[in-house]
Amino acid sequence: MRLTKQRHSCVRLEKDGATLVIDPGAFSEEDAARGADAVLITHEHPDHFDEGRVRAALESGAEVWTLGSVAGRLAAAFPGRVHTVGHGDTVTAAGFDVRVHGELHAVIHPDLPRITNVGFLVEGTLFHPGDALTVPDTPVDLLMLPVHAPWNKISEVIDYVREVRPRLAVDIHDALLTEIARPIYDNQIALLGGAEHTRLTPGESIDL
């Protein structure tokens, strides 16, 4: 399986000629979901779900797996190709085995109601948590790590890596992180997280 990092929280996975895209949002590339056979969406916030990008993928034949708040905006126009999932579900999306973990978005502020958020464990190997620090109940080899967000701080990011204990943590949710701050995050997460840590530039790929 090949992982290609897109901007912010969007990633592209390829296996056996099939393509799976997770969280093509407004901060990701305009063509982030182009050519996808399947799209997974963790929640409704626009940096994770851009309706135009996802509709374009659906019009080209893709199927979508997501939570109810997103599925409700798409299902009527694409009957049979938009699937609602929740915590504990296991599905096959374009040949990829996917297990769903988590229920709620991380707390942004106590005065703001929490929305639903799900994470996706793909092929029992790669976990994308969306906007939450969900710990799956199974070992994770590669953790897509939400490194910088309005709802987290670096100590929480480090403790999340420690709790999940992946072999490798790769940054996502990084569009708001300035280049001058990057070395601080790189050094602290690598030093204290207890796992190998790296970041990929948009368009860069690794084989898993």
pLDDT digits (tens, 9 = 90+) for 46-76: 999 999 999 999 999 999 999 999 999 999 9
157-164: average pLDDT: 98
pLDDT reported for residue 205: 97
DSSP 192: H
C-alpha angle 69-48-186 in degrees, rounded to nearest 5: 140
E strand segments, the chain: 2-5, 11-15, 18-22, 38-41, 63-66, 82-84, 90-93, 96-101, 119-122, 126-128, 142-146, 168-172, 196-198, 205-207
Pairing of strands 126-128, 142-146: parallel
- Mean residue pLDDT of the chain comes to 97
Q: How many CA atoms lie within 13 A of 172 on its CB side?
A: 31
Question: 2-207 — its CATH code?
Answer: 3.60.15.10
Cα 35 to Cα 13: distance, rounded to the nearest angstrom: 12
The pLDDT of residue 144: 98
Consecutive H or E run containing 183: helix 182-192
| pLDDT single digits (tens) 75-131 | 999 999 999 999 999 999 999 999 999 999 999 999 999 999 999 999 999 999 999
* Model confidence, pTM: 0.97
